[in-house]
């Protein structure tokens, strides 16, 4: 599924001459060519990049990510907005795989906001114990259920401003819910997203909100949700934190950090992970 943000700057307009490309700039931003792959012979050394050059490179990289991961999605299992909110709360300091192993029984037991609001704390903790920090997470789930019942007739609201007032839901969680459950385009900055956009020199910002705004000025708004998924997929499968698979990366020719990981294709190929591995290696001729 998807991830989101409701008030990052919209690209394609520059009312105050801020340097954000205009619609005319975007139209000429070299986004129509078919994706290409060529493996750099050495680490990329770029001259100082202009603003429009950065926009064009970011959009080329995103276009290539659509070839890498055409089916990218939210890796948390859910069927309703509330289930996604619960799963996202449980995913803090826990893998999506573990959360997905935990939620079927949880969702069968707790079907609506009132069930969480009235939950027996000890029983709820046992259901979610495997996700870690289960006492704090139980507090959040019970509080979330109570707030939804009292303020929103048991339904999860569909705006960022309302979601962030609820227990256990910060800006990142709200963005995940909005993008995946409500279809609102946006950008969610998790650990993978933040480190990749900095590695790619799309931004130097560290604060997640500033990262959202910076990247929102590079990529068209309609693509924000899928951008988030595809960057996260790339970070989990190819561009690892300690040892990126540079020599087996489809984005290598556009990456200013090429060479931080092994550039030998055979060695790099061993680092590629996930169910898309065969496809990813085929893209780079391995």
- Active-site positions read 172, 190
Measured CA distances, 51 to 15, 17, 54, 176, 265 (Å): 16, 12, 5, 29, 32
Reduced to 3 DSSP states, what percent helix, strand and coil does the chain have, rounded to the nearest 5?
50, 0, 45
Contact 230, 251 (CB under 8 A): no
Contact 128, 101 (CB under 8 A): no
Tokens of 243: 């040892």
d(CA 277, CA 88): 26
d(CA 83, CA 106): 10
Nearby residues of 18 by Cβ (< 8 Å), 6 or more positions away = none
Rg of the Cα trace of the chain? Answer: 20
Give the CB-side neighbour count of residue 34, counting CA atoms within 13 A: 1
């Amino acid at each position: 599924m998807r991830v989101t943000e409701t008030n990052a700057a919209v690209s394609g307009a520059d009312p105050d001459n801020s340097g954000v490309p205009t619609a005319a700039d975007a139209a000429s931003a070299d986004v129509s060519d078919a994706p290409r792959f060529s493996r750099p012979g050495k680490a990329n050394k770029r001259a100082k990049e202009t603003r429009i050059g950065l926009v064009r490179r970011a959009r080329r990289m995103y276009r290539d990510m659509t070839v890498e991961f055409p089916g990218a999605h939210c890796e948390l299992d859910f069927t309703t907005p509330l289930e996604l909110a619960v799963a996202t709360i449980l995913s803090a300091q826990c893998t999506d795989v573990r959360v997905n192993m935990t939620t079927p029984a949880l969702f069968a037991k707790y079907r609506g906001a009132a069930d969480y609001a009235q939950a027996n704390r000890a029983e709820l903790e046992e259901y979610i114990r495997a996700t870690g920090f289960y006492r704090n997470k139980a507090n959040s789930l019970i509080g979330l259920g109570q707030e939804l019942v009292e303020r929103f007739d048991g339904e999860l609201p569909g705006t960022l401003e309302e979601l962030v007032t609820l227990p256990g839901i910060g800006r990142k969680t709200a963005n995940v819910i909005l993008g995946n459950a409500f279809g609102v385009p946006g950008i969610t900055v998790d650990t993978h997203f933040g480190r990749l956009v900095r590695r790619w020199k799309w931004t130097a910002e560290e604060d997640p909100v500033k990262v959202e705004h910076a990247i929102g000025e590079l990529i068209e708004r309609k693509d924000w949700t899928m951008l988030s998924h595809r960057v996260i997929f790339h970070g989990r499968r190819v561009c690892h934190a300690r040892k990126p698979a540079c020599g087996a990366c489809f984005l290598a020719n556009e990456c200013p950090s090429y060479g931080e990981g092994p550039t030998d294709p055979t060695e790099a190929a061993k680092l590629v992970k996930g169910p898309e591995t065969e496809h990813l290696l085929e893209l780079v001729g391995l």
